[in-house]
A and B are shown apart, each in its own frame.
Chain A
């Protein structure tokens, strides 16, 4: 029983950063913007979170710094693609490349230093309930944020007027603009929200998952988060399901390596990436599902005609 609980807990820890980054990107893409810089914003969040935690000694300040770092970095993307109407694919890629380089440079002095870890929740009486206690009341704070975030985004997008407006912009920025909606302003806010989420996801990696700084520690998670959004056909709760499936794959291959299964460890390590490809193929085979849900103006630059 204990082993099962432990495995479930590690799966949740592996799934949380994927979930948060993907939920942020989901909002961005629902507004019609494709930001391929998730990996870059995430690694900036990771280095910012670790650095602030390490320098101040407080993981909570680290957490805030991670969010701020991601949001600030996404602002760069927003100015480029929204105000200067640059190619979103190329700009997103360059955001990732710049983030990987910048984080490596900023983190040079952090390598090998002990980090701060966000404490797990501990509610007397509740956390000690057998089996469900630790699952429900004993996880790290970001886990709870990730669940709340999913619910909030689902509610916002499908139950509020502003959410409807955001989705309409994603489906046709020209019509939205003609109706007098401030397309660019909405998109700025969406992109910055996505950046803050990616930063938080990175902060989870360096403040909870492995409280230390390792170069390129995001290891492609930002890209997997992008794939999750497609996999979930732009629906928040499906993102949650997808993130946990990927968390399970990630943990499964780690456990398989630890058990010494006679399969090359490199093959096991490549499973999350191969699984991403397989899942993308499966989902894109269903043309109707993807066609119906893909925001119609995704990735297209928009310049208001005054």
Chain B
């Protein structure tokens, strides 16, 4: 019988801080190999199909960028929340509301065209996401209601609201009864970056810009310092005159706006109209992206690309090997697990000890305690 024991390091280990995402990825690969073997598939073959084939051609890299853009946009916003120890887990709902509010222009005013349309849509999308995120923020600051549960409940409400819109008032009358809105007119479509080689659109640029701006905010500005202080020690933050309530609003509005921007970018870029479902769980996967990227905007860009690949790989193994595309979700979940586990190594040394050992150490332990 063995037992784990954690020994606190005198200071955080820079080595493991850098290594842990890679160790986590390696462990995920090993666990994934076991899983594929259990499913009766040759792991090497499965990995080739999962991780390499989906990015072996230029147009496929465009698809990767399309999937990575919303993940990065949402995750950089969430990273600010989580750094401040504020738990917005309803980004999926804010994404949907961003998509809905931003779509008001092309759906309600389909004749409105011109260069103003797109900026207005993106702005409305951010407003929609931020406004929806303001609800849990308001409830938390006003009544002390747990933001984890309220922000999550609002995801279900948002999904049902979108479902009602596209089946009811916003349904395309010429759509043969399909639950979808009209196709957006050309000036409401987010342009592609390089139409010659693939479908990737400006959403990816937004994601990179957002990551850069949040990086500057967090590492070069007072607000970023405030976030970190309030996150690690609310008491110290109060002494410094930082308001926790203001921070709750700041974090929720910022992450909501970015999720909303991701939502409207997805709708006007990759989809081109509203449908009952506009997200394969980007808002939840972004939580994994945020942690895998160590809550650091630059790490998040890399993590977003990795998680985008798990989506593409899931689709690839489904069509090539007949395995459920839920395999992507399993990979994502495992990855987060291993990342969190490996993060322990940053602050602690892990020792494996037999059960008999503590007795022998009993005497010096007392000495140490004094």
- Verify A273–B156 contact, CB threshold 8 A: yes
* Partner pick for A284 among B89, B144, B287, B327, CB 8 A cutoff: B144
Quick check: is B154 within 8 A (CB to CB) of the other chain?
A: yes
Quick check: is B157 within 8 A (CB to CB) of the other chain?
A: yes
Closest CB-CB distance, B73 to chain A, in whole Å? 19
Closest CB-CB distance, B93 to chain A, in whole Å? 10
> Which chain A residue shows the least CB distance to B358?
A306
Contact with A along B149-173 (1 / 0, CB 8 A): 1101110110011011001100000
Q: List 6 A-B contacts (CB under 8 A).
A: A86-B341, A94-B288, A95-B333, A277-B153, A284-B146, A303-B348
Contacts known (A104-B326, A264-B168, A303-B6); A89 close to B148, Cβ less than 8 A: yes
How far is A93 from B341 in the complex, measured between Cα atoms in Å?
14
- Verify B8–A303 contact, CB threshold 8 A: yes
Quick check: is A267 within 8 A (CB to CB) of the other chain?
A: yes
* Partner pick for B287 among A93, A95, A100, A280, CB 8 A cutoff: A93
Quick check: is A145 within 8 A (CB to CB) of the other chain?
A: no
Quick check: is A147 within 8 A (CB to CB) of the other chain?
A: no
Query: 9 nearest interchain CB pairs?
Result: A101-B329, A98-B333, A104-B326, A266-B164, A94-B336, A266-B160, A105-B326, A101-B330, A284-B145
Closest CB-CB distance, A306 to chain B, in whole Å? 6
Interface residues of B in 328-356 (CB under 8 A from A): 328-334, 336-337, 340-341, 343-344, 348, 350
**A80 contacts across to B, CB distance below 8 A:** 337, 340-341
Closest CB-CB distance, A190 to chain B, in whole Å? 18
Quick check: is A285 within 8 A (CB to CB) of the other chain?
A: yes
Interface size class of A (residues with CB under 8 A): 35 or more
- Verify A264–B332 contact, CB threshold 8 A: no
**A36 contacts across to B, CB distance below 8 A:** 148
Quick check: is A97 within 8 A (CB to CB) of the other chain?
A: yes
Quick check: is A217 within 8 A (CB to CB) of the other chain?
A: no
Quick check: is A226 within 8 A (CB to CB) of the other chain?
A: yes
- Verify B329–A264 contact, CB threshold 8 A: no
Tally of contact residues, B, Cβ under 8 A: 53
Closest CB-CB distance, B131 to chain A, in whole Å? 16
Quick check: is B15 within 8 A (CB to CB) of the other chain?
A: no
Quick check: is A83 within 8 A (CB to CB) of the other chain?
A: yes
Closest CB-CB distance, B166 to chain A, in whole Å? 10
How far is A287 from B142 in the complex, measured between Cα atoms in Å?
11
How far is A303 from B160 in the complex, measured between Cα atoms in Å?
43
How far is A84 from B352 in the complex, measured between Cα atoms in Å?
12
Closest CB-CB distance, A111 to chain B, in whole Å? 10
Query: How many CB-defined contacts (below 8 Å) exist between A and B?
Result: 144
How far is A273 from B160 in the complex, measured between Cα atoms in Å?
11
Can you add 19 more A-B contacts, CB < 8 Å, to A101-B333, A223-B152, A226-B149? Answer: A80-B341, A84-B344, A86-B341, A87-B340, A90-B287, A93-B89, A97-B287, A98-B336, A98-B337, A99-B333, A105-B326, A105-B329, A105-B330, A230-B146, A266-B161, A273-B157, A280-B149, A281-B143, A281-B150
> Which chain B residue shows the least CB distance to A92?
B148
Quick check: is B249 within 8 A (CB to CB) of the other chain?
A: no
Quick check: is A151 within 8 A (CB to CB) of the other chain?
A: no
Contacts known (A97-B284, A97-B336, A101-B326); A230 close to B343, Cβ less than 8 A: no
Interface residues of A in 276-292 (CB under 8 A from B): 276-277, 280-281, 284-285, 287, 290
Q: Which residues of chain A have a CB within 8 Å of any CB of chain B?
A: 36, 76, 80, 83-87, 89-91, 93-95, 97-102, 104-105, 108, 219-220, 223, 226-227, 230, 264, 266-267, 269-270, 273-274, 276-277, 280-281, 284-285, 287, 290, 303, 306
How far is A223 from B89 in the complex, measured between Cα atoms in Å?
12
How far is A117 from B326 in the complex, measured between Cα atoms in Å?
27
How far is A83 from B351 in the complex, measured between Cα atoms in Å?
11
Quick check: is B4 within 8 A (CB to CB) of the other chain?
A: yes
How far is A69 from B357 in the complex, measured between Cα atoms in Å?
33
* Partner pick for A270 among B4, B157, B330, B343, CB 8 A cutoff: B157
Quick check: is B194 within 8 A (CB to CB) of the other chain?
A: no
Quick check: is B132 within 8 A (CB to CB) of the other chain?
A: no
Contacts known (A94-B333, A270-B160); A223 close to B149, Cβ less than 8 A: yes
* Partner pick for B324 among A90, A108, A226, A269, CB 8 A cutoff: A108
How far is A85 from B349 in the complex, measured between Cα atoms in Å?
12
- Verify A267–B164 contact, CB threshold 8 A: yes
> Which chain B residue shows the least CB distance to A103?
B326
**A84 contacts across to B, CB distance below 8 A:** 4, 6, 340-341, 344, 350
Contacts known (A226-B149, A270-B161, A290-B144); A94 close to B330, Cβ less than 8 A: no
Closest CB-CB distance, A264 to chain B, in whole Å? 5
> Which chain A residue shows the least CB distance to B336?
A94
- Verify A97–B288 contact, CB threshold 8 A: yes
How far is A220 from B220 in the complex, measured between Cα atoms in Å?
40
> Which chain A residue shows the least CB distance to B135?
A277
- Verify B329–A277 contact, CB threshold 8 A: no
How far is A223 from B156 in the complex, measured between Cα atoms in Å?
11
Closest CB-CB distance, B40 to chain A, in whole Å? 13
Contacts known (A98-B333, A101-B330, A104-B326); A277 close to B139, Cβ less than 8 A: yes
> Which chain A residue shows the least CB distance to B368?
A306
- Verify A91–B340 contact, CB threshold 8 A: yes
Contact with A along B114-130 (1 / 0, CB 8 A): 00000000000000000
> Which chain B residue shows the least CB distance to A34?
B148
How far is A274 from B154 in the complex, measured between Cα atoms in Å?
8
Contacts known (A97-B329, A97-B332, A108-B324); A280 close to B145, Cβ less than 8 A: yes
Contacts known (A97-B336, A285-B143); A280 close to B150, Cβ less than 8 A: yes
